[in-house]
Amino acid sequence: MEKEYKTMSFGTTSLKIDTGKNQFFPQGVNVKAHVDMDTGEVKLFIDSEDLKKLK
């Protein structure tokens, strides 16, 4: 199953996926990346614990 989410980042903070659960103080889950050092390919992901927060 796929679902589209907005991302948030302010200044030097890490990229996050907006959970949409708090309008006044936005909450989010951190986006992490795997980088293939040979090809430069980047795969973004979130931890399984954070995935539970999106469901």
* Residues 1-55 pLDDT 10s: 667 777 788 888 888 888 877 777 767 888 999 999 999 989 999 999 888 888 7
* Of 5, 17, 2, residue with least CA distance to 47: 17
Position 21 scores a pLDDT of: 78
CB-based burial label for 52 (10 Å; 0-12, 13-18, 19+): exposed
